[in-house]
Structure 1
Amino acid sequence: MKPFSRDAGIPVLTEVIDSPPAEGISLMTQADAPAAVPAEEYNVEALEAEMLSHWNDEEWNRLERKIRERILTRILGRIDAVLEQQVRDHLADVLQIAVEGLATDIKSGLHQSLEQVVTSAVSQEITRLQKRNN
């Protein structure tokens, strides 16, 4: 068995994990963390109105165009798959109906052909037997 050889490019566990902090430095606890500002202090409608009041018609048109292009891109990306699946489903139904009709026609044609062949063979045999008896 080959002895274990260490690849210099792969770090060992002690190289990956940071060493614990020095004794003089303490980790911040939840009590030390700054308090989050409650959501009630923000007036969302006022902020939104302030942001939107600075927009001119050109910016609105640009935003509308970007949104329209994004939506159309997403829809066009999905519509191909949806249309293909619908075409497959409908085509499968149409082909199934066509195959059933074709099978019925073939059976009917084979039945008629077989009937004609048997009738012809029987009449030929009767004619042959009658000629033999005469």
Structure 2
Amino acid sequence: MNNPIDASIPVLTEIIYPAYAAGAEDETAATPASPLPPSPMPDAVTVSAATDPMNGSATNPAPSEEQWQTLEQSLKEIVLKNVLARVDFVLEHRVRDNLADVLQTAVEGLANEIRAGLKNSLEELVTRAVTQEITKVKNSK
């Protein structure tokens, strides 16, 4: 199926490993290829190509322990990043809601204090004005 000219072109059912992981014995495979960044989850092509649908046996070698650790680390980083983004979102909303409650309580308390102070000031002012007018009326007679 693959001739020597297009041997480097993968088909859709092949899993492509870096040359040093595939265990190839030719000269080009002896030099390690630059590894690609690990994907967060194996895709359907990789999973379906790992077993031969005709007999269910594995057609390619299982991933090495190092590859599993790399996959695990990348998954941990992705999950942590997503959790931290969600925590920031929830924390911001809770702080905003609690701050709104605290500010509302503070504004209500301040308004009540101002209202009580204004009431006392007006009572004193009216009482003083009435007393002065009564005094003027008494003195004018």
**TM-score, scaled to structure 2:** 0.52
Aligned: 1:55 with 2:64: yes
For 2:108 and 2:69, the matched residues in 1 are separated by 56
For 1:116 and 1:42, the matched residues in 2 are separated by 100
For 1:87 and 1:42, the matched residues in 2 are separated by 58
**TM-score, scaled to structure 1:** 0.55
Q: How does 1:20-35 map to 2 (within 5 A)?
A: none
More helix by share: 1
Identity of aligned pairs, percent?
A: 48
Structure 1: gaps of 5 or more residues: 1-40
Q: How does 1:73-92 map to 2 (within 5 A)?
A: 73-92=81-100
For 1:74 and 1:129, the matched residues in 2 are separated by 81
Show the counterpart of 1:116. 124
**Aligned to 2:76, what secondary structure does the other structure show?**
helix
Q: Cα–Cα, structure 1 residues 101 and 122, in superposed 2: closer, same or farther, change >3 Å?
A: same
Aligned: 1:101 with 2:109: yes
Structure 2: gaps of 5 or more residues: 1-53
Considering Cα pairs closer than 8 Å and 6+ residues apart, tell me whether 1 or 2 has the greater RCO.
Answer: 2
Offset, 1:79: 2.2
Amino acid at match of 2:86: R
Q: Cα–Cα, structure 1 residues 93 and 75, in superposed 2: closer, same or farther, change >3 Å?
A: same
How many residues are aligned here? 87
For 2:90 and 2:138, the matched residues in 1 are separated by 71
